[in-house]
Structure 1
Amino acid sequence: MPIPAQYSYRPDGETNTNTPYQPVPWPQTFMTWTGANGDTIPLTGDITCTSSPAGIAVTKGPAGLGMPTYDLKADQLPNMDGGLFRSVRATTRDITIPLLIRGADRTSTIRMHNRLLRALNPGQGPGWITAYEGDGVARHLECYYVSGAEGAETEEAAGFTRIKCAVVLRAMDPYWYSNAELQHDWHLDQGTAQPFLSSSGYPSFFPLRISSTTFSPDGTVTVTNDSSVEAWPVWSCTGAAAGLRLENTTTGKTFRLRDTFSIPASQTVTVDTSPGIKTVTMGGANLWPQMRADSVLWQLKPGRNVLRVTAGDVNENTLIRLHYVPRYLSYVGG
């Protein structure tokens, strides 16, 4: 039966005196599709044909823009209820976007329709669906066209100056990526850098901690991944530097090059930790043999990560750069 209650009542007897919530003004979402041919088409465009002869708009009922679907693995327990959880992974993502193409005349309608078909052609490669939210943050998802634009000459689906279709797109990577790449730099600050071992007589022999005027002298920096999905960084390490060590102290994982390997001056070692890539190169040469056996190409976990960079034989031209793109569960974040 219903329980009588007042929203302003508190169990301690006090009256709710909070001021009324003021809604935050929020612009409408803007969405585009960028095909493999490089053509960017607004999907939330003008279909009144006042600013252009033809336009495309997303109609009611898009699906698949939120959380990805997950595949759970479990073992069934003999003679017991339930199962034993083993693993979870996000599967590929299918997105359905109902579209309305409308033109001022038949010619402009057909031109816009053909422009969309050329941009959707999966034979040319994947495209990008990009959503611009009211907070100004843009996130994109790499997709292949699957179906939906085959065409139907029914009264509801087509007309002389309008075409309706529900485009189905498939993302092999189910996570949305920010359009903004984040970056952190480490370089030698002559005023704060000190020998790693407390001896100033051999500054070119003992390894120096790389620091910056914006980072602490011990080479540590806090990187906050504002997503609930891990991010995979790319490192650009420009020499001179010896015995490079990249450590995530929060997760306890470390990447290290051999102490005997030095990055020559003006040369750059690129460490790409991205899934499916996992490369360590310098000038196109594979540097996997120069990695320590206990090295891990680690990721940034969701939330706070404390990173430390150390190296030896550094100079004022040494630059260690971390850059990464946050990933999200939904087009609005998460």
Structure 2
Amino acid sequence: MTSITLTNADGLSVTLGNHAPFYIEKVTGLSEVAVQFETQKAPKQHGSTYFDSTLGEREITVEGTIITRNHLSELQERKRLLQQVVNPLRKQPIKLKYEHESSVREIMATVETTPIFPNDAGQHGLYYQKFMLILICHQPFWQDIYAESREMSYLMGGLQFGLRLPTTFAKRGFQRAAVNAGDVATPVEIEFKGAAVNPTVNNATTGQAIKVNRSLGPDDVLTIGTEFGKKYVRINGENAFHYLDLSSVFWQLEPGSNILSYASNNDSINTRVKVTWKNRFIGI
């Protein structure tokens, strides 16, 4: 069974599927999305020099039929519901949840037009009305509907050296593996609770780190977001971007396994660091 649920910023939603009153007949844009090449061409150069590829915006169109069987007014009520949910003048974006068999993914979309209701012969009647929805996903990746998270745990071990004396150097730290099961790198939200001095959170897989030059008390909460265009650093909900160390990189989780760790000039074992993310996919 396939269904699409659209939920707007006001919480109003409508579900389209294989049953009345909103039947889905055709959906495009679920998997395909245009690729944009980043290249450079020098004078007299044959072809160009390739640097990178990025995905363009995803356009999803949904075609279907509203079918009612009871009162004549019911068809108009269903049309109104679609217009209320898919309203380009309301706060954007709209959440689109796609369900097919055991797969459930979601994506955020903006509305290109109001719902289209054709008036041609065969397109509408007393108890049915064809419709089309056109949605633009400026961020083209599908995501899992539930976020994953990992909390780094306290480690304590020792390094043995080849000396006659039983010399051991203690090793302490917080470390955890995090697996990005998606197709592309994905941003994270970092939550740092507890006492710390100049807390640093590292992604050893990429060699990148985020450091905040600030002391935190046992009741303080530091949160960091690394999503492109939505980066933030907050302490107890207040902006703390000015405490960010200039060497910091807002790293993301690379596809596959990532080794994460954190360090602090305060060795408190009560401090907890949680990293949260959603896997991202290039198609359904």
> TM-score by structure 2 length?
0.88
Picking from 9, 13, 17, the partner of 1:44 is: 17
Q: Is the 8 A contact 1:209 1:309 kept in 2?
A: no
Q: How far apart in 1 are the matches of 2:25 and 2:55?
A: 28
**CA deviation string 1:267-293 (max 9, x = no partner):** 100011111111111023332332222
Residue 286 (1) aligns with residue 251 (2): no
Change (3 A) 1:40 1:195: farther
Q: How far apart in 2 are the matches of 1:208 and 1:265?
A: 23
Structure label with greater radius of gyration: 1
Q: How far apart in 2 are the matches of 1:221 and 1:283?
A: 25
Q: Is the 8 A contact 1:34 1:128 kept in 2?
A: yes
Change (3 A) 1:241 1:249: same
- Give the count of matched residue pairs: 272
Residue 193 (1) aligns with residue 156 (2): yes
Q: How far apart in 2 are the matches of 1:37 and 1:156?
A: 34
Does 234-243 or 306-315 show the bigger shift? 306-315
Change (3 A) 1:265 1:162: same
Picking from 89, 101, 104, the partner of 2:69 is: 104
1:127 alignment partner in structure 2: 94
**Partner secondary structure for residue 300 of structure 1:** coil
After the TM superposition, list the runs of 4 or more consecutive aligned residues in structure 1 that deviate by more than 4 angstroms. Answer: none
**Partner secondary structure for residue 158 of structure 1:** coil
Residue 159 (1) aligns with residue 128 (2): no
Q: Is the 8 A contact 2:209 2:250 kept in 1?
A: yes
**Partner secondary structure for residue 218 of structure 2:** coil
Percent of aligned positions that are identical: 20
Give the drift of 1:150: 3.5
Q: How far apart in 1 are the matches of 2:210 and 2:153?
A: 18
Change (3 A) 1:185 1:273: same
Q: Is the 8 A contact 2:220 2:235 kept in 1?
A: yes
**Partner secondary structure for residue 72 of structure 1:** strand
Give the drift of 1:132: 1.6
Q: How far apart in 2 are the matches of 1:228 and 1:235?
A: 21
Greater strand content = 2
Q: How far apart in 2 are the matches of 1:144 and 1:276?
A: 17
Picking from 255, 267, 271, the partner of 2:224 is: 271
1:301 alignment partner in structure 2: 254
1:140 alignment partner in structure 2: 106
Q: How far apart in 2 are the matches of 1:139 and 1:151?
A: 27
Change (3 A) 1:193 1:262: farther
Give the drift of 1:109: 1.4
For residues 48-87 of structure 1, the aligned pairs below 5 Å read 55-60=21-26, 62-87=27-52
**Partner secondary structure for residue 292 of structure 1:** coil
Residue 220 (1) aligns with residue 187 (2): no
Q: How far apart in 2 are the matches of 1:209 and 1:297?
A: 25
Picking from 184, 195, 202, the partner of 1:240 is: 195
Q: Is the 8 A contact 2:110 2:136 kept in 1?
A: yes
Change (3 A) 1:34 1:41: same
> TM-score by structure 1 length?
0.75
Q: How far apart in 2 are the matches of 1:250 and 1:237?
A: 20
Q: Which amino acid aligns with 2:101?
A: G
